[in-house]
Structure 1
């Protein structure tokens, strides 16, 4: 049975790429003197796997990493010891045995913050509502498997729910999106909004994962 970590990735750490993050965890386990399982073969290395790789620049408080704990290190000691060996912005919150299959992780709750340096246009809110209330929203998505270099995907069926809140200089979209098979990167929503309403395009957008959920909308661990 595999083991899992629940960790957050915020601040400057959100600019660490997926591959560099994997290497960071491998080195951190060694520095923390926590024995974990290794791959087999001529060049064995520590086995770690992140459930849903996070895009560079995105922050998260609900990342899940799978590994195999060896030796007699108690689960409750792993978070503190491993966090101490991590760069600033990566915090381990929990270590536990995996009980559920990753395919049961079906949705991600994202917080998208649209920022306007000179004040949010009043029309931005109804524009976003109109975009998300469409029956269909087909966009082009890059694909290495397609001869055209892209595929077309309808975003609306991949949006499980959303709520919009606005302030004087921000518009915050709280959305539950499909996590996998297929997953929906919230960047596609930002791009669709800016393409449909370029006059309301924000100066900056931040993306944050708040929670991972199962088919029933309950927290996945």
Structure 2
């Protein structure tokens, strides 16, 4: 997956499943890039090299500060696995992931401005079987949060039946989380909350959940 060191502001289109280099563009300039499969678009420059972003349908339009414009056709198209392409920047400070809101929803017919949230990441976090999409991360955390709510309700009720329901639901959640977000931290959170529901007060359960979710977030930001 390692690539040769490219000159500043070059763009690499990488296969999102394998990490293989599909296409490479050297230097700035107006262009239209047709993305035919879910990819990672890597701009070898700082995020500050972009002036603003627009979305039109499934296309991402990137307006650079040097005045050039690049349209990435089908960037937001969802493949059979529900994945769309991702945009990252690499500079001397690391790898920065541009996370776009409502990426899985239908885009506007006319171009509209879109503002991403920048998050530090690694290329490996977005590539292959270990890759984590934005939807998977949010889905996994939501699953854990849902189980936390069930666990707290069960612990407050004090009934064995409620705790049993929590355990059964937790088993399903563990499987869902492990499929969607391949990290043992989130699975551990679900299992721990299920057990905590049987022996802890609601306030203690909440503390356990908060601690585990902070650790999960740290793991996702700094994948091994």
Q: Larger radius of gyration, structure 1 or 2?
A: 2
Scaled by the length of structure 1, the TM-score of the pair is 0.31
More helix by share: 2
Higher RCO (C-alpha under 8 Å, 6+ residues apart): 1
More strand by share: 1
Scaled by the length of structure 2, the TM-score of the pair is 0.30
